[in-house]
Amino acid sequence: MSRALAVQPTPLGLVNTLRLGLFQGCLGCLAVIFAGLLNRVMLSELNFPGLLVGGALAFEQFVAPSRVLFGQISDAHPWAGRHRIPYIWLGTALFCALAVLSIPLIFHVGRLLEAGSQPELALAISGLCGLFSLYGLAISLASTPYLALVIDRTSEAERPRAVGLIWCMLTVGIVIGAISINLSLRGLDGVTDPAQLEPVLLAFMVRVALVVLALTVVATVGAEPGAQQQAPGSAGQRRDDALTLAQAWSLITSSRQVLVFFGFLVMFTLALFLQDPILESYGADVFGMPIAATASLNAVWGIGTLAGLLLAGLWIVPRLGKLATARLGCQLILTSLVLLALAGLVAKVPVLQVVMLLFGLAAGIGTNSALVLMLDLTLPEAAGTFVGVWGLAQALSRALGKILGGGLFDMARALQSILHLPESTYLPYALVFSLEALVALAALELLGRVNLRQFREDTGRSLTKVLALELG
Give per-residue pLDDT as tens, 248-297.
667 677 778 888 888 999 999 999 988 877 888 899 899 988 877 887 78
Is the separation of the CB atoms in 42 and 55 below 8 Å? no
The DSSP output letter for 82 is B
d(CA 311, CA 328): 13
In a domain, 3, yes or no: no
Report the CATH number that the domain containing residue 350 is assigned in CATH.
Answer: 1.20.1250.20
Within-domain flag for 4? no
Q: What is the pLDDT of residue 243?
A: 59
pLDDT given for residue 328 in this prediction = 95
DSSP state of 83: S
| Spatial distance between the Cα atoms of 282 and 277, rounded to a whole number of angstroms | 10
- Is 90 exceeded by the pLDDT of residue 356? yes
Q: Which residues contact 17 (CB under 8 A, 6 or more apart)?
A: 161, 162, 165, 166
What's the CA gap between 221 and 241, in Å, rounded? 25
Cα separation values, 403 from 40, 60, 156, 397, Å: 15, 11, 36, 10
Tens-place pLDDT, residues 401-439 = 877 888 888 888 888 878 777 778 898 899 889 999 999
| DSSP bridge pairs for 79 | 82
Q: Poorest-confidence range of 111-120, 145-154, 289-298?
A: 289-298
**Domain range spanning residue 316?**
13-224+241-467
Distances (CA, A) of 451 to 82, 176, 373: 33, 37, 10
Q: What is the mean pLDDT of residues 340-355?
A: 94
Which pLDDT does position 254 carry in this prediction?
A: 74
Split into its structural domains, the chain has a count of 1
Torsion of CA 107, 111, 113, 115, to 10 degrees: 180
Q: Is 25 a residue whose pLDDT tops 90?
A: yes
pLDDT band at 453 (very low <50, low <70, confident <90, very high): confident
pLDDT > 90 in the chain, percent: 32
Q: Which long-range contacts (CB under 8 A, 24 or more apart) does 82-85 make?
A: 82/224, 82/226, 82/227, 83/145, 83/148, 83/224, 83/236, 83/239, 83/384, 84/145, 84/146, 84/148, 84/149, 84/152, 84/220, 84/223, 84/224, 85/145, 85/149, 85/220, 85/221, 85/223, 85/224
Closest CA to 209 of 340, 94, 43, 117: 94
pLDDT value at position 329?
94
Check if the beta carbon of residue 409 is closer than 8 Å to that of residue 274.
Answer: no
221-236: pLDDT as tens digits: 988 876 544 544 444 4
Spatial CA neighbour of 372 closest among 336, 320, 437, 446: 320
pLDDT above 70 coverage of the chain, percent:
89
Whether residue 237 has pLDDT greater than 60 = no
pTM over 0.85: no
Average pLDDT for the chain? 83
Separation in Å, CA 391 to CA 69, 199, 399: 11, 34, 12
Task: Compute CA distances 314 → 154, 158, 266, whole Å.
Answer: 16, 11, 26
Asked, as a colleague might, if the bond just before 119 is cis with ω within 30 of 0, I would say: yes
Residue 5: inside a domain: no
Task: Compute the distance between CA of residue 359 and CA of residue 340 in angstroms, rounded to an integer.
Answer: 8
pLDDT digits (tens, 9 = 90+) for 204-224: 999 999 999 999 999 999 888
Task: Give residue-wise pLDDT tens across range 326-335.
Answer: 999 999 999 9
Average of per-residue pLDDT across 445-464: 82
pLDDT at 216: 96
6 falls within a domain: no
Q: Is the pLDDT of residue 381 over 80?
A: no
Residue 233 lies in a domain: no
Mean pLDDT score, 60-81? 84
Task: Return the pLDDT at 468.
Answer: 60
Is residue 380 predicted with pLDDT exceeding 80?
no
- Residue 231, in any domain of the structure: no
pLDDT at 290: 84
**Residues 364, 367, 372, 375, Cα dihedral to 10°:** -140
43 occurs within a structural domain: yes
Between the alpha carbon of residue 456 and those of residues 261, 380, 450, the distances in Å are 13, 12, 12
- CB burial of 284-319 (b: ≥16 within 10 Å; e: otherwise) equals bbbbebebbbbbbbbbbbbbbbbbbbbbbbeebbee
pLDDT at position 240: 39
Distances (CA, A) of 215 to 167, 242, 367, 450: 16, 30, 24, 37
- CB-based contact 243:412 (threshold 8 Å): no
* C-alpha closest to that of 438 among 472, 404, 396, 462: 404
